[in-house]
Amino acid sequence: MAIKGVIFDSDGTLVDSENVAAGLLHKMLIECGIELPETQVLRRFRGVQFAVFVAELCKEHPTLDGEPFMVAFRERSLDLFRQGLQPMPGAKAFVASLDLPKSVASNGPRLKIETCLGQAGLLEHFDHIASAYEVRSWKPAPGLIIEAARLLGLEPHECLLVEDSVAGAEAGLAAGAHVAGFGEFEFPTFGHAANFHRTPTYDDVSELLQRLR
């Protein structure tokens, strides 16, 4: 069936916020006496529910107080994001030219999503945003993708999900959507999935969309 709508992840897909967040997390963990390389921080929290990431850290480091840590990170990260974020390469032109209904599906809170999109000059292009904190379903569960499709008046199988994380790709496939694996990550576990398509750049996403429409 032809693709009738596009769902976008936000962090690392529309906005270049993941590296900023990983740098802050790395700094905050050092402040708590925890040495974790920034590359590992990025790998472990990319696309995962933040509370799950912190809970795993608390198991490994019992001195870490999870709830205050999360609250402090939310406040400090929003301050950083408000200082300015760049859209991911090609994202702004692709979104602005897209002639299909579109929505955002993010594991983050709405305030974070809207702050990041606004700073990157993308918020004006999206009337529909699905936040996991409102849907109460976090990737890799499919509920967030199902809701993002519903906001467009579509079924998940009528949508292409543009996603940069394993958890997000799993959510999209579980929901029945086509998934465009965006960015530099190689997605090694999805090579044989019929609905998964490797698209490192937005030029690749555009070419894929033309084939699927």
Strand partners, 5: 159
**Catalytic residue positions, numbered:** 9
CB 4 within 8 A of CB 159: yes
Q: Report the alpha-carbon angle 188-109-62, nearest 5.
A: 75
**CA dist list (Å): 101 to 34, 45, 164:** 44, 29, 20
Query: What is the Cα–Cα distance from 195 to 64, expressed in whole angstroms?
Result: 40
Strand partners, 85: none
Where are the alpha helices (H) located in the chain, listed in sequence order? 18-31, 38-45, 50-60, 66-82, 91-97, 110-119, 132-135, 143-151, 166-175, 202-212
